[in-house]
Amino acid sequence: MLSLIVDSHIHIAHNTLFNKKEWSNSTTDFKINWITKILKDYKKNNILALRDGGDGIFASCLAREIARKEGITYRTPIFAICKKDHYGSFLGKSIYGIEDFKREFNILKENKLDHLKIILTGMVNFDKFGDVGDVAFTYNELEYMVKSAKEHGVPIMVHANGCKGVSAAIKAGVDTIEHGFLISDKELYGMAEKGIIWVPTLSPLGNIIDANDPKFKEQLDIIRKVYDIQTKNIIKAYEIGVKIALGSDAGAYRVGHINGIFDEIKHFENIGFNKDTVLKMCLENGSEALKI
């Protein structure tokens, strides 16, 4: 049994202790107490390495400071970068193009970002099978952001779904692809060839399915279909040598902090992986994703 568990995709700013308004109206002491409570719970459960996907309120930046005192490895992009009028503004800063990126990247560097988080597409549309939104950035914009990060030794974490978005991320040479729903063999082989780590986040959809969630009664068939494609792709990816890390997307709907990574491990076991294999992927590929 491996002692160290790595959750390669969380959002500490999304939780049951505070919301964005409460955070902005609270003292530093309150903020420290909230984040410390979450991190201590992670520590109690041997989840000692965490990789945040960003937020717009600098909660993950504070979490990194507290994590050091708690003996937890914590990586944060500070805030995510998304395209104006596209999905993702609640996770960070919306930009129009390269000039905006230059300004925001300077702020990220001042705050010592651990990785650059780019939101390249939307989420899976539960109402329309196959829809994941547009690819938000042009390839030139994506390439510029990736090159800028690499010039400063900063890894690149990209939220992408669908063949077009994931293909663009692979071509640009990102370090990790988050989610990666509704992709084809071509993208799987591309990740394998370039050594890109895939964090396929089964828990957000899998937990809705397991709960037979009445909130999504009308969408459950589409959610199951997307989930089944993702699980088949994970099995294929593992067989061809894609590096898969486990990230729960803790903070997402029905994905709690701490429990989220154990849900993720369970989902992997349910599709046929034995626990030792799952924990090995979780530790080894997670450690590489976090640059431990």
Number of residues that make up the chain = 292
Q: What is the mean pLDDT of residues 8-20?
A: 97
Cα separation of 98 and 161, whole Å?
Answer: 22
Sheet holding 176-179, edge to edge: 92-95, 80-83, 116-119, 156-160, 176-179, 197-199, 243-244
Q: What pLDDT score does 3 carry?
A: 65
Calculate what percentage of the chain has a pLDDT beyond 90.
Answer: 99
Phi, psi of 216, rounded to the nearest 5 degrees: -115, 30
Stated pTM of the model: 0.97
Q: Is a pLDDT exceeding 90 seen at residue 2?
A: no
Q: Is a pLDDT exceeding 90 seen at residue 291?
A: yes
Predicted confidence band of residue 15 (pLDDT cuts 50, 70, 90): very high
The tens digit of pLDDT for each residue in 229-252 reads 999 999 999 999 999 999 999 999
Q: What is the mean pLDDT of the chain?
A: 97
Query: What domains appear along the chain, each with residue ranges and CATH number?
Result: 5-289 (3.20.20.140)
The tens digit of pLDDT for each residue in 254-266 reads 999 999 999 999 9
Q: Is a pLDDT exceeding 80 seen at residue 131?
A: yes
Q: Is a pLDDT exceeding 50 seen at residue 169?
A: yes
Predicted confidence band of residue 111 (pLDDT cuts 50, 70, 90): very high
Predicted confidence band of residue 1 (pLDDT cuts 50, 70, 90): very low
H or E element that contains 156? strand 156-160
Phi, psi of 188, rounded to the nearest 5 degrees: -60, -45
Q: Is a pLDDT exceeding 60 seen at residue 166?
A: yes
Q: What is the mean pLDDT of residues 33-56?
A: 98
Exposed/middle/buried for residue 202 (C-beta within 10 Å: 0-12, 13-18, 19+): buried
Q: What is the mean pLDDT of residues 195-212?
A: 98
